[in-house]
Structure formats: structure tokens, C-alpha cells
Amino acid sequence: MQALEISYSKLPEAFYTPIAPTPVKAPRLVIFNHALATSLGLSLPETNLDDLAQFFSGNALPEGSTPIAQAYAGHQFGHFTMLGDGRAHLLGEKVTPDGQRYDIQLKGSGPTPYSRRGDGRAALAPMLREYLISEAMHALGIPTTRSLAVVTTGETVIRDTVRHGAILTRVAASHIRVGTFEYAAAREDTEGLKALADYGITRHYPELSTQDAPYLAFLNAVIERQAKLVASWMHVGFIHGVMNTDNMTISGETIDYGPCAFMDRFAMDTVFSSIDRNGRYAFGNQASIAQWNLACFAKTLLPLLDEDISRATDLADVAIEGYSTVFNDAWISGMRRKLGLFGEEADDLPLMQSLLEWMQKTDADYTITFRDLITKTLPIGETYQSQTFRDWHTRWQARLGRNAKPLKSSFCLMRANNPVIIPRNQYVEDALTAAEQGNLTLFHALLKAVQHPFDETETNTGFRKAPPHSNPNFQTFCGT
Ligand code: AMP
Ligand code: MG
């Protein structure tokens, strides 16, 4: 493996700690993302599984590399805390053949100075869960960190019970978080903050560096990417579950697949995370929580926005208010695609809202309902016979009739924007339970299905159905 760069180390030392992963006893490769490795241009010893396991466990480091753990802070459920990579090591950055720079990070690779009371390790099921769901998100066209490999360590970790230890290799446009900026701001280190902002701009928004007010442009650009990201979650029923500011990137990628889950039945108040007792991060709260997080981000940038604090605050306020417009536009545009609507009409929003209200009242499956609509007649099924649904259907048909394009084009648009496959909780849990017992057959089958979420094939029929025992009380546990 050739040496990796770490441009991040050029930031002031307070932003990271050089530290190597703690070697593990008997690493074994569980899964490896060949396609991703190829697109990154990584030259790995692909033929030798043991060598790969050594590499993805951190036992063998790329030539000349000095791994680091990154410092950051964050608002966790609204409360500010100093954090940092407590169980992750940035091995380095890979510049791809087409010039994109990606972080290659091990997660579960041992303790760091930021571990607090944690053991620095991870268990197999949550790491496979991150692998599966991040790959599903990527296939759905949603910006996300990716997963390159999972290895078991040959060691155990103590969680609810004794579990297999594992390490995930995560690939990200960067790991700079809103919380990284909060970390700099909390240290009242304006020089460091400026260095971080300049680094973030160079790495993710290089076109802004020549603007008159680059930091305000940076704030607006992050707001825009995050607003669009959260809108795209809403379109597929994704619930992040732990939208703390340390789990929000400035690149606009989804990060940190701990207690996340997709909802089966449509309900705005859906919460799966066992630790989210008050529903702060419920499905329907995600848009406003993202805005709250972005306000935290804006606050950190104040010293860079204007020398005069009240002028800086005004600029930040306007930027944060602008979030709602970007989010609403992105959400409505995506819903138009889901409903096959071309052009814009004033009544499009109430049309969407009526359908969602009906879905919520009837416990309709969010994913299946949109696919069922792709038919010239009333969809087949008992629930679609009700007068409420028929009335809605008539309105929608009338709207489709006013499209400038033929029905065929609407159905085409709907097929491309309404997945048949999402990683449903029941199937994910079944696959992970079997994987923990050493049987990866179901995991591989589900992974293959979620990697082609818009294709109706013979092999994915099982995963397209709503699970028979779809449990409204299903709970996810924070990624451990
Ligand atoms: P998360 O909820 O996964 O975003 O993690 C929040 C913070 O807890 C981060 O700083 C993690 O690095 C840290 N953390 C989570 N699990 C562990 C662990 N097992 N050992 C050490 N730190 C951890
Ligand atoms: Mg996190």
C-alpha cells in the first residue's frame, strides 16, 4: 500500500493527536468493497486476504503514515461537550485518479486521548450495519460516507453481552464536522478557527475562496448542502437518529450510522433510537434540527463574518433564515419527482400534504405506496378503495393530465425516484443476527438488493415486501 497524505495535519496541533491504532489479535476480513477500492485508485494486495485484514485492522500501516485522531466538540441532544475520535484513526487521505481527496478512517481501532470512558472498540453487527446502510444510501443517490471494509479483530468487546470485536474502514470527503468548528470556537482560538475555515473552503468549496466574503459564502454553501441532504432523507424515509452537531459534516455527506433506520409505515413522529426518548430526532423533526445545528455552525463563524459582532450576527441570521427556503424547495422538487409531476402549480404542495396525511392515518407503507401509484388505474389493494384516497387520486390524475409531458414520462420519473428497496429494519436485523453467528449469506443478499434500489428483479422480491411483523416499537441502539 502506497503512502497516504494527511493534509489535515497542517492545521494547528490542537485539532488532532498523532496516534497509531492498537494492534488486534487475529484480524479476519469479513467484507471488502472492491468497487470502491478501484474507484479510489487504491493499490491493495487484493489477492491476499490476510494482508488485507492486516491493513484494515490497523495492524499494518501504509508506508510512512502517521495516523491521527481528530479533535472535535458537539451538541449532543442539545448539550455542549468536548469530544473527538474516541475510537477512530484517520490513516490518511487518498487522492483519486480524478483528483478528489478522501479520508480513509478506521473505526473501532483502539483508544485515543478522546476516548473518555469508552474502550475504543466496536462490535461486528453495528459495523456491518453502517456498511450496509451507507452503501444503500449511496445507491439511493444520497451523499454519504462510504464503507470500504469490515474486519473482525479476533477479540471480544463487552456491550449488552459479549460480542465479536470489529473494525470498519470508512471513506469520507472529510470528517470535518459542525462540531469541529464548535471545538475551535470553544477554545476561543480565532486563528485556529480561521485556519479550519480556510481548510474547509479549500477542500470542499474551492470556488468560494476568491469571493469578497468567503466565510459568509462558506456558511451559505454548507447550509445549502445540508438542507438538500436532509430533504433527500425525507424523500426515502431515512431517520438519522442522532443528529448531534458532531454528526453533521460540512461536506454535506450523511455521517455516523449509529441508531439510524428507515421507516416502513409513514408517520412523521417515527423514532427508532432507544436513547432518543423525547423524539428530538424524530423523522418529522429532522429539517428543523438541521437548521438548529446550522445555527450552531453560524455562531462559530461570527468572528470571521464581520469585525462588528452585531453586523456579523445579522449576516448569520439572514443565512440561517435562508435555510427554510432551500429546504422547502428541495423537498417539494423531490416530492414532485416522486409523484411524476412536471412543471410547478400552486396546489402541488397541498396535493402532497393530502397524500401524506392519508398515509399517516392509514399506516400506509411509505415506500410501497409511491410504487403502487405507478399505474393507469386506481392502485390495487383494499386501502386504496376508500373515498378519501379516491378523491386524492382524482386530484392527482387531473394534475398529471395538465403535465406538459405524457403519462409515460411521469411513470419513468416516478420509477427513478421511488425505490422498491430500502434496508427495512426487520431484514437488516435478521441479516445481522445471522452474520454475528458466522453466516453472511443473508447479509450479502440484502446488500446486493439495496445496491440496486430502483430495480424490480426476481431475486429481490423478498426484500421489496413490507415485513410481515413490521414492529412499530422497533428500537435501534446507538452504534456500539
Ligand atoms: P457517536 O454517538 O457514535 O457519534 O459518538 C460520540 C462520541 O463518542 C465520539 O466522540 C466517539 O468517538 C465516542 N465513542 C463512541 N463509542 C466509543 C467507544 N467504544 N470508545 C471510545 N469512544 C467512543
Ligand atoms: Mg459521531
Write out pLDDT tens, residues 443-468: 999 999 999 999 999 989 999 999 87
Q: CA 91 to CA 390: how far, in whole Å? A: 57
Residue 41 within any structural domain of the chain: yes
pLDDT score, position 475: 80
Mean pLDDT of 226-250: 98
- In this predicted structure, the answer to whether residue 29 has a pLDDT above a threshold of 70 is yes
pLDDT score, position 302: 98
Residue 142 within any structural domain of the chain: yes
| Residue 478's pLDDT band (cuts 50, 70, 90) | low
Position 357: which residue type?
E
Residue 269 within any structural domain of the chain: no
pLDDT score, position 470: 62
Looking at 119, 160, 198, 246, which residue is catalytic? 246
* Average predicted confidence (pLDDT) for the chain: 96
| Length of the chain measured in residues | 480
Q: CA 377 to CA 355: how far, in whole Å? A: 17
- In this predicted structure, the answer to whether residue 471 has a pLDDT above a threshold of 90 is no
Q: What percent of the chain has pLDDT above 90?
A: 93
Q: Are 274 and 478 in contact (CB under 8 A)?
A: yes
CA atoms within 13 Å, Cβ hemisphere of 470 = 17
Which of 94, 155, 208, 168 lies closest to 480 in space, CA to CA? Answer: 168
Q: Are 418 and 338 in contact (CB under 8 A)?
A: yes
Burial status of residue 353 (CB atoms within 10 A of its CB: 0-12, 13-18, 19 or more) = exposed
Instruction: Give me the number of domains the chain comprises.
Output: 2
Residue 400 within any structural domain of the chain: yes
- Report CA torsion sign: 425, 431, 435, 437: positive
Mean pLDDT of 185-199: 97
pTM recorded for the entire structure? 0.97
Q: CA 76 to CA 135: how far, in whole Å? A: 26
- Report CA torsion sign: 21, 23, 24, 30: positive
**Which atom, in ligand 1's list, is nearest to the CA of 242?**
2
Q: Ligand nearest 114 Cα, by number?
A: 1
Domain boundary among 118, 137, 172: 172
| Residue 44's pLDDT band (cuts 50, 70, 90) | confident
Residue 150 within any structural domain of the chain: yes
**How many whole angstroms from 301 Cα to the centroid of ligand 2?**
22
pLDDT score, position 455: 96
- Cα–Cα distances in angstroms (integers) from residue 340 to residues 98, 391, 407, 414, 422, in the given order: 34, 18, 8, 5, 20
Q: What percent of the chain has pLDDT above 70?
A: 98
Mean pLDDT of 325-331: 98
Residue 202 within any structural domain of the chain: no
Residue 180 within any structural domain of the chain: no
Question: Is 246 a known active-site residue?
Answer: yes
Domain boundary among 172, 204, 226: 172
Residue located nearest, by CA, to atom 13 of ligand 1: 86
72 alpha-carbon distance from chain centroid: 19
pLDDT score, position 47: 67
Its domain, for residue 405, covers 339-417
Q: Are 250 and 178 in contact (CB under 8 A)?
A: yes
**How many whole angstroms from 96 Cα to the centroid of ligand 2?**
25
pLDDT score, position 472: 66
**How many whole angstroms from 241 Cα to the centroid of ligand 1?**
15
**How many whole angstroms from 88 Cα to the centroid of ligand 1?**
9
Mean pLDDT of 365-369: 98
User: Does any ligand 1 atom lie closer than 6 A to the CB of residue 118?
Assistant: yes
In this structure, the number of other CB atoms found within 10 A of the CB of residue 350 comes to 10
Strand-pair partners of 80? 75
Secondary structure percentages of the chain, helix, strand, coil, to 5: 45, 15, 40
Domain boundary among 154, 172, 190: 172
Task: Choose the residue to mutate in 17, 85, 116 for probing ligand 1, maximizing ligand atoms within 8 Å of C-beta.
Answer: 116
10-27 pLDDT, tens digit each: 999 999 999 999 999 999
Residue 52 within any structural domain of the chain: yes
